[in-house]
Structure 1
Amino acid sequence: MTTPAPPRRHPDRLLLAALLAVAIAELIFTHLPGRTDTLRSVVGNLAFLPPYLLGATLALRAARRVPTQRHLWAAVATGQLLWTAGQVLYTSQHLNRTAQPFPSIADLFFLLLAPCVLIGLLTQQRRPIPTAQRPLFLLDLIICLAAFAAVSWSVSSAPTTPFELAIAVAYPIADLATLATLFSLIVWRPRDFASPSTLALTLGLLSLLTVDVLYQRQIAWGAYNIGFPLDNLWVLASVCFGLAAALATRQTTLHAWLRAAAVLRLALPYLGLSGAVLLALTSPQLNLMRAHGHMDTPLLIAVLLLLLSGARQLLTQLESRRLHRQLRQREQYDALTGLLSRTHFTHVLHGALRRPLALLLVDLDGFRRVNDTLGHPTGDALLQETARRLRRATPPDATLARLSADEFAVILPHETAATAGRAAHRVLNALNEPYPLDQDTAPVRVTASIGLTLCPDEAVDATSALRNAEFAVQDAKRHGRQQLRAYNPARQADVTAHQRLETHLERAADRGELHLAYQPIVDLGSGRIVAAEALLRWTSADLGRVPPTQFIPVAEERGLIGDLGLWALNAAIRQARAWRDQGHTHLRVNVNVSPLQFGHGDFVQHVQRALDQHGVPPAALALELTEGALIRDVHASNDTLRRLRALGVCIALDDFGTGYSSLSYLQALPVDDVKLDKSFVSAMTQSGPALVEAIVRVAHHLGLSVVAEGVETPTHRDDLRALGTDRAQGFLFARPLDAEDLTARLAVTPALL
């Protein structure tokens, strides 16, 4: 028996642990008492090498692990290796002389660390600063840089050689560049750099900035010695860089940092101003004026900062006013269409009611279906085109608004009943034209229902006017949609009943008021019942039995059809399970699927989940879809149909011939059955069977079965059987039955011929 190998620890964790151990050891060493100068000099110099080498190794590993940040971590590694090379030169020079080697060639390598890290950060910037905010950003940047320059000026030493001058200037310039880049990236674009790794990089750069300023100050005073606590800041920078590399794969957003950056963005310029003014007031050289009349340099910078801060305040006020105007614009106008918002429109309508006017309320029929089946971008494009058509179809003095997702309003001033009716019909005709929104899909057909009310004859305030127009719209929808209806108080009761129907339908499933009826489908060859079509029925506790012709259009209009269809699907599959348990394993259940339900992104998952939940084989389920539901987007429909057929579900093309009536779709769509509309069956009596015979032959040639609907006479049955029709349903065989009645029928006589 072999023992399993111990789990391998992540190399990055080991490297990071080593880095922290070295940093802690260096921290302890700088605070140890009784060290000799030689020990302090040797160990103090060599102690810098392990942290930066470990940090560079971690950065190189991060460059390999995170390809999208390869340039960032390669730059960080390069900077640390250059700093290490500089430290090797510095150590060699320091151990061979008694004085501190500053400035020296090593400083050139030290200076390259911060720029390398900054270049790496710049490769990760995703969005530029908006144009409108750039003046404010530049002023903030100048204020911070000027304040930092004042501090650097006050602590710098006087150079004696050109090389010393170059180094003395290079350090402040590098620090200013570091501060400027940090300010522009981290403070002004915090969302792009709010991950743990970038925050650790920021802390490392800030450590470098701090130690540079303090180092310059001690050099200027001749007080710097290696091996003392100031060295801990250089090591801290390497620890931050190594920690950042170890956290490279963690791209979570630090929301606390986003909030802190927002506060820092506002406070940083004023902190810089305060520091510079304090520095000027405490300048040891002179008080406010020199004896020869020239102002002190820190004081000049302080004055400049005051002027810049005043300019910034002015720009801040201008920016606040611009944002305030934007907020008012958003409040008063719809962002998508540019029309008035509901709140602002109500205010405008209230003022306009002082004079005669006509109010139109426009409701798009079927917009929810478009939004759910074709996607929100298509829905947005449709709304924008609707707004353009409204502008073209109405006079220039009309006021247009978008009140809700698919509801628009139009104020037509100085209109009579006759002129308002003509104007409303122009709007209706414009909106009923097909919408060619996409070159890859067929034009979208969306109609409009329009309600018209006249003011002040029928309403004297905005609330009453909108309510009357809404009643008129509901009246138009109740009478078939795609029409104009004027407000009529006599029909208000009917509209109220329609709205009551909507309210009760929303709660029908929860109240257990829905049930399914099943109409048998008979095999014309054997006469046996082979399937049953599930038909949704609603018996309301308050309204009584509501016909499907009443509640189905309401469900489609209000977007409830998807939930009702899902309920019917689950109920039908549950009943299929019960029939199979009773021995009727040959019986298939057909379920109608609405276009809205079919176009839902997780429809296939709903079907599979319901089948699995009740343990019903997919072959026991057939889904009936109309032509119109499938050809809106043939590519998407084919994808969904193939996934359903891959499960083993049967697909039936319902009401064939009533929609687009194209036999080519039989070849384009992956379906199993063609359900011949009852109008073809009834027409055989007058026009003969030629058309039905052609459809049956084409379907059979394509490997499809044909089911005839609406069979009511023995002659229909016999003719269809002679033409080769596979199955049929209709009142000749049975009307829709409750599940219990059909179960009893199956037990007594499975054959109906």
Structure 2
Amino acid sequence: MRALSLRAKLISIIVLVSTLAIGLGLVALGFYQQRAARNAMLENVSGQARLMALYSEVPLNFSDRSGLLDVLNKGQLPSLLQAAVYTSTGELFATIQRDSRGSLPASLTMPVDTGMKMSAQQLELMQPIGSDPKNPLGYLAMQVSLSELNAAIRDGILLLLLIGAALIGVSFLLAVRLQRYVSGPILNLARLTTQVSARNDFSLRAPVQGEDEIGRLARGFNHMLDVIGEREQARDRAEGALRDSKETLEQAVQELHHLANYDALTELPNRSLCMDRIANALMRASREHDRVAIIFLDLDHFKEVNDSLGHAIGDDLLKSAASRLQDCLRRGDTLARLGGDEFVLVLEELHDDLNVITVLNKIISSFSEAFHIGGYVVSTTVSMGVAIYPSDGRDVHTLMRNADTAMYKAKELGRNTYQFYQPDMNALSLRRLSLATELREALQYNQLELYYQPQLDTRSKRIVGVEALLRWKHPVMGSISPAEFIPIAESTGLIVPIGQWVIERAARQLADWRKQGIGPLRVAVNISAVQFRQVDLAEQIARTVSAHNIPPESIELELTESLLMRDVESATNQLKKLKALGFKLVIDDFGTGYSSLSYLRRFPLDGLKIDRSFIDEVNRNPDDTAITLAILSMARSLRLMVIAEGVETREQYEFLLNHDCEEVQGYLFSPPVPEPVLTPLLKQATPNFPRLQVVNNSGGGQ
């Protein structure tokens, strides 16, 4: 009722009261009607019974059975089911039955109970025959159907319901008209109040209609407007320009202070204010011999959300994440945003590490629930690094640096976790800086090398292609994992020249294999997001392929979902340019990004590569099985080739074979190997196309 308008409330009240009154009246009328019909029938049956008992005395005295039957047949009850006359000893003397529902007994049990018995469907009556009820000549028994009575009562109730519905409808129409006399003036007053507020015009007046309470309310409202208008004019004359200049100055100062100290997106303290608060917290902790925790927090995979769903969704995710983090903090703790997806938490008055761990676990638990943003369900986790004052540093910059280092360690351990700072973590930071420098020299001094992993046709078990995978053999540090140096190459921009080197070296090797009579064979090359954004990428690859005199369709370019979804229009145009030049286009790690079927239809693709995370337990995990089958079915409907990577067991291979996955690659067949190891394998088969027998699982990962 609170949410209803005044008009609706008045109508509801009038209709409710009317309905209650009508309902009570109809219930009383219906009850009376039912009682009257029942009593009338009982009176009729009782009268007929007495009359028939009177006429039955003579035939019963003379044992005239035909006379009794004649009396019974002349009964005037249309609803009579059965009538019978019993002797004074309870024996059946004569009976008539007009309906199969009649069920009078063949004899009576003495003594006989006279009177009426009524059930839902029948009325039974036992009437003594003779002038002396204590010593009757016999007994008249009758069974009468109550169907007609029940039907009449039902018809009466239905009629009453129809009358009630009609009366309620009439009451509603009357309520609609009557409420206008009350709600109309009040609604007019409410509209006038809104106009006064919106226009700030105190010259408006409410019309006064009558001398009742509403009229007095209108006069009181008009008087209030008079007083307010006079005061407004007096204040405006007194303050004037002073008010305007003062408000403008104060607002400007407040805005400048806010811009200088708070993040515009999340309204959280920014880096400058965060540093000040940490410095103040350290001073208080030093005086009180207390401890302070600095938590450096980063949203995992936030760049993929930004790239695939757009910056607007990314901004909303940051605001939602900030709100969720704020709910996890204690009163007096500080949450700040440094920029991007980086946040800092400052926890004061710590008695032991358990206080910090409680907050950290609360944050991780909070982010286990997905965000619902702009029609998307977005899942993200957090990686956190913790530095404690004074054990991990005694100044702001040292604590921030050490917390940042611990956060990167948490990311290296798989994300969605936290790490407390340890002194040996600085060595990891120095290693990253060293690798960034060494990577520049790796290109110059030929420390990079391509390994190749075969891709097999599931039916024929022939090698139909190879994926070129980058390896780095440092002369001092030895083999360095791509998982370690590829992110460094992307962050430093070295991924562009490295990517060009990979394409050139793969094309050269393919040309060499063709000269040896190996083929047809295709080489798959991964394209990074930075490379893909190059305007002349298609022309660069085309020149490389042309220089080595190999067909464009022998080069397969693998791109991730997040790369394509960052800017769908630009991605579509770039893909069309590459497709027009004849290159094969495949989405890598399919199923881990945010692409949709509508976008896949727009992209000129040749195939999909199922991510190894779904293949690992495709025989054991129902979810992975369902996802893999769905990808295969979708690819067939879009006429796309499917290749599954990470195949390591015969059971995985047979599952993919039985469900028509065209191609596979993985350690079941061969790990990534250098060219000198792979070339003999390619030569072992027929001249047109090599064949590789499936061997037992050798373990390991790609």
Give the TM-score, by structure 1 length: 0.48
Hey, what's the Cα distance between the residues in 1 that align with 2:630 and 2:366? 39
Tell me which amino acid in the other structure corresponds to 1:448. V
Match of 2:278 in 1: 349
Tell me which amino acid in the other structure corresponds to 2:294. L
The correspondence for 1:424, drawn from 342, 360, 385, is 360
Tell me which amino acid in the other structure corresponds to 1:479. L
Tell me which amino acid in the other structure corresponds to 1:419. N
TM superposition shift of 1:656: 5.4
**In the TM superposition, what are the counterparts of 1:499-514 in structure 2 within 5 Å?**
500-501=434-435, 504-505=438-439, 508-509=442-443, 512-514=446-448
Query: Deviations 1:317-366 (Å, cap 9, x if unpaired)?
Result: 99899877765554433344333332342233222102232211112222
Look up the SS of the partner of 1:414 in the other structure. strand
1:340 aligns with 2:275: no
Tell me which amino acid in the other structure corresponds to 1:421. I
**In the TM superposition, what are the counterparts of 1:140-179 in structure 2 within 5 Å?**
none
Query: Deviations 1:208-251 (Å, cap 9, x if unpaired)?
Result: xxxxxxxxxxxxxxxxxxxxxxxxxxxxxxxxxxxxxxxxxxxx
CA distance 1:490–1:706, change in 2 (3 Å): closer
Tell me which amino acid in the other structure corresponds to 1:461. D
1:413 aligns with 2:348: yes
Match of 2:414 in 1: 480
Query: Deviations 1:142-183 (Å, cap 9, x if unpaired)?
Result: xxxxxxxxxxxxxxxxxxxxxxxxxxxxxxxxxxxxxxxxxx
1:445 aligns with 2:382: no
Hey, what's the Cα distance between the residues in 2 that align with 1:337 and 1:573? 49
Hey, what's the Cα distance between the residues in 1 that align with 2:322 and 2:519? 55
Look up the SS of the partner of 2:280 in the other structure. helix
1:735 aligns with 2:674: no
TM superposition shift of 1:649: 2.8
TM superposition shift of 1:513: 3.6
**In the TM superposition, what are the counterparts of 1:67-82 in structure 2 within 5 Å?**
none
CA distance 1:510–1:427, change in 2 (3 Å): farther
Look up the SS of the partner of 2:377 in the other structure. coil
Structural RMSD (CA): 4.9
Match of 1:237 in 2: none
Hey, what's the Cα distance between the residues in 2 that align with 1:568 and 1:388? 44
CA distance 1:737–1:648, change in 2 (3 Å): same
Hey, what's the Cα distance between the residues in 2 that align with 1:508 and 1:476? 28
Contact 1:590–1:623 (Cα < 8 Å) also in 2: yes
Hey, what's the Cα distance between the residues in 2 that align with 1:319 and 1:685? 70
CA distance 1:661–1:644, change in 2 (3 Å): closer
The correspondence for 2:302, drawn from 364, 367, 377, is 367
Match of 2:640 in 1: 704
Contact 1:604–1:643 (Cα < 8 Å) also in 2: no
Aligned length: 438
CA distance 1:585–1:606, change in 2 (3 Å): farther
Gaps in structure 1 of 5+ consecutive residues: 1-310
Look up the SS of the partner of 1:340 in the other structure. coil
TM superposition shift of 1:473: 0.8
**In the TM superposition, what are the counterparts of 1:82-231 in structure 2 within 5 Å?**
none
Hey, what's the Cα distance between the residues in 2 that align with 1:680 and 1:457? 44
CA distance 1:573–1:329, change in 2 (3 Å): farther
Contact 1:368–1:559 (Cα < 8 Å) also in 2: no
CA distance 1:712–1:394, change in 2 (3 Å): closer
Match of 1:751 in 2: 690
Look up the SS of the partner of 1:459 in the other structure. coil
Tell me which amino acid in the other structure corresponds to 2:413. H
Query: Deviations 1:703-723 (Å, cap 9, x if unpaired)?
Result: 333434445677876786676
Hey, what's the Cα distance between the residues in 2 that align with 1:558 and 1:465? 26
Higher share in strand:
2
TM superposition shift of 1:496: 4.7
Match of 1:90 in 2: none
**In the TM superposition, what are the counterparts of 1:311-326 in structure 2 within 5 Å?**
none
Contact 2:619–2:625 (Cα < 8 Å) also in 1: no
Query: Deviations 1:457-504 (Å, cap 9, x if unpaired)?
Result: 433221222122122212211211111222233555455545644664
Query: Deviations 1:387-413 (Å, cap 9, x if unpaired)?
Result: 333333323422232224332212122
Contact 1:604–1:644 (Cα < 8 Å) also in 2: no
Hey, what's the Cα distance between the residues in 1 that align with 2:580 and 2:249? 59
Contact 1:676–1:706 (Cα < 8 Å) also in 2: yes
Gaps in structure 2 of 5+ consecutive residues: 1-239, 286-290, 693-702
Hey, what's the Cα distance between the residues in 2 that align with 1:674 and 1:437? 28
Match of 2:224 in 1: none
**In the TM superposition, what are the counterparts of 1:682-701 in structure 2 within 5 Å?**
699-700=635-636
Higher share in helix:
1
Query: Deviations 1:255-301 (Å, cap 9, x if unpaired)?
Result: xxxxxxxxxxxxxxxxxxxxxxxxxxxxxxxxxxxxxxxxxxxxxxx
Tell me which amino acid in the other structure corresponds to 2:282. L
Contact 1:424–1:484 (Cα < 8 Å) also in 2: yes
The correspondence for 1:609, drawn from 540, 546, 549, is 540
The correspondence for 2:390, drawn from 442, 445, 456, is 456
Tell me which amino acid in the other structure corresponds to 2:374. D
Hey, what's the Cα distance between the residues in 1 that align with 2:270 and 2:631? 52
Contact 2:367–2:380 (Cα < 8 Å) also in 1: yes
Hey, what's the Cα distance between the residues in 1 that align with 2:433 and 2:295? 20
Give the TM-score, by structure 2 length: 0.51
Match of 2:557 in 1: 623
Match of 1:238 in 2: none
Look up the SS of the partner of 2:386 in the other structure. strand
Match of 1:543 in 2: 477
Look up the SS of the partner of 1:489 in the other structure. coil
Tell me which amino acid in the other structure corresponds to 2:542. L
Hey, what's the Cα distance between the residues in 2 that align with 1:506 and 1:319? 55
CA distance 1:397–1:510, change in 2 (3 Å): farther
Contact 1:434–1:445 (Cα < 8 Å) also in 2: yes
Look up the SS of the partner of 1:353 in the other structure. helix
Contact 2:542–2:581 (Cα < 8 Å) also in 1: no
CA distance 1:742–1:730, change in 2 (3 Å): same
TM superposition shift of 1:584: 5.2
Contact 2:538–2:577 (Cα < 8 Å) also in 1: no
TM superposition shift of 1:565: 5.1
Tell me which amino acid in the other structure corresponds to 1:751. P
Hey, what's the Cα distance between the residues in 2 that align with 1:511 and 1:315? 70
1:386 aligns with 2:321: yes
CA distance 1:329–1:542, change in 2 (3 Å): farther
Hey, what's the Cα distance between the residues in 1 that align with 2:309 and 2:360? 29
Look up the SS of the partner of 2:451 in the other structure. strand
CA distance 1:725–1:516, change in 2 (3 Å): same
The correspondence for 1:531, drawn from 451, 465, 468, is 465
Contact 1:475–1:495 (Cα < 8 Å) also in 2: no
Tell me which amino acid in the other structure corresponds to 2:467. E
TM superposition shift of 1:603: 5.6
User: Could you say which structure has the larger radius of gyration?
Assistant: 2
Hey, what's the Cα distance between the residues in 2 that align with 1:545 and 1:402? 38
CA distance 1:422–1:508, change in 2 (3 Å): farther
CA distance 1:618–1:469, change in 2 (3 Å): same
